């Protein structure tokens, strides 16, 4: 996506986010807020997958870890600034986990499908640990009573306030990720994704770059998880498992890999569809999401935002 197209889309998105509280009720606003948090999560996966072409199939590990750490830290009695410490700890824990995994995988030469499978297994492991380590994680039920976001006297628990907090964080993160993506760092990542050996022969330490990028991606996933848990007031094992890990892949793929905004749109749309369809017949959704996986691969390899580009590509005088 060209820089201008991206910023026009981005500005339109900000406008829509700003107008939304005027047109929907408090309940819908809450639904949108949660969807946007998952959108931020999707953007974090896209930042890594979209730039490097390496697919992480266990990204919910970082979202869920952020959530659990947020719950545990912010529920500590006698802790001042619970929200602040909780967020910092959540982001740090997710980043640290990703740095360790990145070290083991990227410096060990693990790439491509191997990385996808190892991360898939990590999601399985994470969920098992979350369920079986019940002293800390609350087991199957998870942890209830996580306090809402508050910084000192600034209380962000209301409908509008929590929505606004999420929207602002999302906008800032998207902008930051975009700047990194198109800047020198992002170009080197694209180069590594194109031909890693060539990039290394030009003097780039590919393993180190991949690890750092993965760590940043995981830190943002952890932030999203922490926000979600604070808004929902609880954390449970389904926030860390394989299912969520694969759902986020669908959001990114549907929205358009490598665009950052597309995955947010994908996350919002797919979750809306999921809620509608599940309220009608809960056992249909897994079947539909399965079909979506297959269909995107064959029909929409570049995501929904690419439809507009493809239509434009048909018109004369414009190349991509």
List interacting residues with other proteins (CB under 8 A). Answer: 53, 55, 57, 104-105, 107-110, 112-114, 116-118, 120-122, 124-125, 128-129, 131-132, 184, 187-188, 190-191, 194-195, 197-206, 242, 246, 249, 253, 283, 286-287, 289-298, 301
Cβ distance to other proteins smaller for residue 286 or 313: 286
Cβ distance to other proteins smaller for residue 132 or 141: 132
Cβ distance to other proteins smaller for residue 158 or 301: 301
Smallest gap from Cβ 4 to other proteins, in A, equals 16
Cβ distance to other proteins smaller for residue 150 or 292: 292
Q: Report the candidate in 123, 115, 119, 69 with the shortest Cα–Cα distance to residue 92.
A: 69
Smallest gap from Cβ 109 to other proteins, in A, equals 5
Please report the sign of the dihedral spanned by the C-alpha atoms of residue 182, residue 184, residue 189, residue 190. positive
Smallest gap from Cβ 299 to other proteins, in A, equals 11
Cβ distance to other proteins smaller for residue 158 or 290: 290
Cβ distance to other proteins smaller for residue 76 or 121: 121
Indicate the length of the chain as a whole number: 320
Interhelix angle 206-232/26-52, nearest 10 degrees: 170
Cβ distance to other proteins smaller for residue 27 or 298: 298
Smallest gap from Cβ 104 to other proteins, in A, equals 4
Q: Residue 293, Cβ neighbours under 10 Å: how many?
A: 14
Smallest gap from Cβ 187 to other proteins, in A, equals 6
Smallest gap from Cβ 250 to other proteins, in A, equals 8
Smallest gap from Cβ 127 to other proteins, in A, equals 9
């Amino acid at each position: 996506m060209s820089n201008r197209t991206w910023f026009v889309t981005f500005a339109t998105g900000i406008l829509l986010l700003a107008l939304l509280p005027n047109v929907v009720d408090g309940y819908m606003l809450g639904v949108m807020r949660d969807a946007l948090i998952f959108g931020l999560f999707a953007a974090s996966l896209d930042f890594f997958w979209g730039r490097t072409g390496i697919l992480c199939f266990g990204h919910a590990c970082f979202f869920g870890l952020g959530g659990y750490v947020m719950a545990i830290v912010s529920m500590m009695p006698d802790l001042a600034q619970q929200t602040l410490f909780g967020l910092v700890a959540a982001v740090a824990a997710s980043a640290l986990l990703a740095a360790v995994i990145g070290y083991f995988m990227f410096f060990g030469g693990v790439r491509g499908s191997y990385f996808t499978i190892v991360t898939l297994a990590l999601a399985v492991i994470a969920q098992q640990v979350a369920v079986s380590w019940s002293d800390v994680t609350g087991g199957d039920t998870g942890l209830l009573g996580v306090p809402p976001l508050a910084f000192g006297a600034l209380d962000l628990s209301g409908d509008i306030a929590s929505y606004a907090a999420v929207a602002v964080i999302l906008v800032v993160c998207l902008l930051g990720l975009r700047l990194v993506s198109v800047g020198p760092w992002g170009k080197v990542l694209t180069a590594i994704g194109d031909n890693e050996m060539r990039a290394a022969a030009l003097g780039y330490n590919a393993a180190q770059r991949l690890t750092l990028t993965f760590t940043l991606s995981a830190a943002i996933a952890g932030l999203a998880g922490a926000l979600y848990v604070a808004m929902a007031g609880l954390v449970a094992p389904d926030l860390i498992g394989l299912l969520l890990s694969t759902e986020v892949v669908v959001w990114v793929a549907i929205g358009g890999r490598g665009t950052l905004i597309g995955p947010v749109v994908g996350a919002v749309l797919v979750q809306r569809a999921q809620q509608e369809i599940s309220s009608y017949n809960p056992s249909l959704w897994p079947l539909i999401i399965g079909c979506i996986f297959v269909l995107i691969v064959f029909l929409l390899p570049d995501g929904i935002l690419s439809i507009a580009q493809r239509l434009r590509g048909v018109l004369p005088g414009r190349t991509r």
